[in-house]
Structures are given as C-alpha cells and as structure tokens.
Chain A
Amino acid sequence: MKKSLIVFAIIMALGAWFVISTLNGLIPMDETCKANWSQVLNQYQRRSDLIPNLVSTVKGYAAHEQDTLTQVIEARAKATQTTLSSEMLSNEQAMNAFMKNQGALSSALSRLMVVVEKYPDLKANQNFMALQSQLEGTENRIAVARKDYIDSVKVFNTRIRTIPTKWIVALFSDMEKKVTFDIEESQKVAPVVDFSK
C-alpha cells in the first residue's frame, strides 16, 4: 500500500517537473519574440522621426506637391497614434490595424519619393540626399526587423502548437500563439515610376 503511494508521488513529481520545464523552455522564445518586436517598433519610430525633416526639405523645393506632402503627414500622424506593445502580440486585430497604418505611411512615402524625381534641384540638395539615404536605410532596417520577428514567432508558434506542449500551455499557462504578417507587406505597394510626366 505504502509502496504504491511512493510510486504515485514519484510519478506526480516527474509530471510536475515535466510541466515546469516545458513552460520554462517557452520563456526564452517568448522573450526573443518580444525583443524582436520592440526592434520593429524602434525602426518604425526611427522612420517616423525622419519624416518632419524630410517634409520640410521637400517643401522648400516642391511647393506644388502639397497634396503628396499632406498625405505623408497625415499617414504619419495616424501611424504614430496606433502602437502595439509587446504584450499584445497575440491580438490579431490590433496587429492588423498597426500594420495597415504603417503600410499606408510606407506607400505615402514612396509616392513622395516618386514625385521628387521631377525636381533635379531638390535631388542634388545635400540635405535631401542625406535624408533619402537615411530613409532607405531605415526602410531596410524595418524589413530586417520584421523578418527577425517573423522568424522568432514561427519558432514560438510551432512549439506552442505542438503536442504535448499545446496541452500543457492550455492547462497551466496563458501564453498564446502570436500574430505574424507577410514579410514583403511594405514592398507590395511599390510605386510605378512614370517618366512621361
């Protein structure tokens, strides 16, 4: 009688140990996802910080493009309004809204960069050239940060949806599958340059 009690206790202990180590194993992955997400946010922020300077430089040379400039400013305002903390990464709606606004800013910016082609003086301006290269660099950093985030979420989601981790998480934890998005989303709206104008 006593023997079976001991066996039962050992099995329980082993089970508890298994559950704990499974959950602990998820934590580093979760943290990597969050760190990568904050990198995504950083890069979007960096882009947003560049815009006022860019707009005022362009304005000096291309006052006729008021529409395009206004669109950029509005898109920026909207994009900075929606933020997404690393605690909300499982919220698909919030993520979609965030990406939609950032995507709108991306396309407004690329429209601006197309319009700018018409102004050789502006393109030769040192300040503008510096801003342009910073913007390109930032767009590239955004792409890298997004890809890193997607990769880390893939690892996390695979683990969290694999049995028995799936069951353990369902019973003992509130961790959820994180939302991801298309890598190339921001590149989808690539502008078409029309040289006939």
Chain B
Amino acid sequence: MKKFFFVFLITFCLVGKAWCFPTLTGRIVDEAQILSAQVEQQLKTLLQSEAQHQVVVVTLSDLEGKSIEEYGYQLGRHWGIGEKGNDNGVLLIIAPNERQARIEVGYGLEGVLTDALSSVILNDMSSALSENDYNQAVLIGTQQILNVIREEEFNTHPLDEIPTPLAIILACLILVLFIYVAMAPQNDRARRLRLILTIISFIPGRGGGFRGKGGSFGGGGSSRKF
C-alpha cells in the first residue's frame, strides 16, 4: 500500500499539473548549490537595494525535462514575483546541469528590460558561465538587471519588509509580556505565561520576510545555452 502511494506521488509529480518547484526562501534560491556564501551575501545586499521591483536569483538542480522558458514563467507565476497588477518581477535563472541560463521578465518590466537587453546581459554573463564561474556570472547579471530596471518607476507601495502596524503592536505586546514575566514572582501564572512565550518564540519567521506579491509572467526575457 505504501509502495503504491509512493508510486502514485511520483507519477503525480511527473504528470504535468503538479510541478515540483523549489521553495521561495529569499531573494536568492540556490537549489543547485553553486553559489558561495560570500557571493550570496553580496547578492542579497544588491537585491535588497532595489526596493521597488522584485528580483530573484534562482539556480535549479533540475528542469524536470521542461525547457527553461517553460519552467521559468511557471516558476515566476508560482512564486508570484513582483506586485499584483504591476507585474514588476524578474527572475535570473541558472540551470547548471542543463547548461542553460534565462532572464525571465514580468509583464510590467517587459518595456524596459526588453528581450534584446536581456539577451545582451546574458551575453555578458556567457564567458563566466562557460567557465563554470557561476558566482561571477550571477553577480554580473544581477548588477546589470538592476541597472536597467532601476529607471522604471511604478505607482507602488513598497510594503515588502516594512513592518505593518499590526506587527508593531504585536511585537510591543510580546515585549511587555516578556518584561512582565521576568519581573513577576514565581508562581503558576508566571510559569504558564513563560510556556506561552516559549511556544511563541518557536513560531518560525517567514523566511526573512521575503515573499512574492502576486506578480505574473508572460514569457518575456531571453535564454541562452552555455
């Protein structure tokens, strides 16, 4: 029975519909494990400097037999990179095993980061890519993408990573609770509160507070084999 279930799960994954996308853990999703920690840090600073548009660097260990073009826009839609309505997201995708790279551009940025420009950027990355210097390639690519899209402005509210009033109130409440518990005498009530606080502190954060905001993709961008 268990075996049957397992087979079923695999077929389910393989038969289209259920794509197996990596989880969006932050602005850099290094699934293929090809970026060094130092470069990741550099990239993070770079990408965070762009508050308006969402740019995500992703390395894939497997394209699941799809073309990088098909995988790219589906992944962008799945994650919802960019803002809903503005669709101002960009994915820089590297698939080292299939030896392909792609810049996937959201609908809203297709006008600035045109296919031709994406192709030029990939061209600049290509010598580093063919030498398997993924760190260098990704740095070049990210920098250039940011330079291009920085000029485009939308009517947006960069809510990303700015705490909402509710979050502030909650944080204050928890802080007050901590102080209260620390100062309270040892009794059942304090112990109960401490238990609650311990539980609260175990609730995981939302992966650095980064998430997609419902942007969509329509296949714009460019790809390259290397």
B118 interfacial contact with A, CB 8 Å: yes
Q: In chain B, residues 102-119, which have Cβ atoms closer than 8 Å to a Cβ of chain A?
A: 114-116, 118-119
Extra A-B contacts (6), CB below 8 Å, given A131-B116, A136-B115, A136-B223: A133-B119, A134-B114, A137-B219, A140-B69, A141-B220, A143-B219
- A-B Cβ contacts below 8 A, count: 42
User: Which A residues lie within 8 Å of B220 (CB)?
Assistant: 137, 140-141
Query: A81 to chain B: closest CB distance in Å?
Result: 26
User: Which B residues lie within 8 Å of A145 (CB)?
Assistant: 218-219
Check A129–B219 contact: CB distance below 8 A. Answer: no
Show 11 residue pairs from A and B whose CB-CB distance is below 8 angstroms, ordered by the A residue.
A133-B115, A133-B116, A133-B118, A134-B114, A134-B115, A136-B223, A137-B114, A138-B115, A143-B70, A143-B219, A144-B73
Query: A104 to chain B: closest CB distance in Å?
Result: 22
A165 interfacial contact with B, CB 8 Å: no
B residues engaging A (CB < 8 A)?
69-70, 73, 114-116, 118-119, 217-223
Query: B224 to chain A: closest CB distance in Å?
Result: 10
Q: Number of A residues contacting the other chain (C-beta, 8 Å)?
A: 15
User: Which A residues lie within 8 Å of B217 (CB)?
Assistant: 144
**Cα distance A133–B119 in the bound complex, in angstroms:** 6
**Cα distance A129–B222 in the bound complex, in angstroms:** 12
User: Which B residues lie within 8 Å of A132 (CB)?
Assistant: 119
User: Which B residues lie within 8 Å of A157 (CB)?
Assistant: none
Check B116–A130 contact: CB distance below 8 A. Answer: yes
**Cα distance A133–B70 in the bound complex, in angstroms:** 17
Report A134-153 CB contacts with B as 1/0, cut-off 8 Å: 10111011011100000000
Q: Which residue of B lies closest to A147 (CB)?
A: B70
Most buried by B among A129, A134, A140, A141: A140
Query: A188 to chain B: closest CB distance in Å?
Result: 15
Check B218–A137 contact: CB distance below 8 A. Answer: no
Given contacts A140-B69, A143-B69, A144-B73, contact A134 B219 (CB under 8 A): no
Check B218–A133 contact: CB distance below 8 A. Answer: no
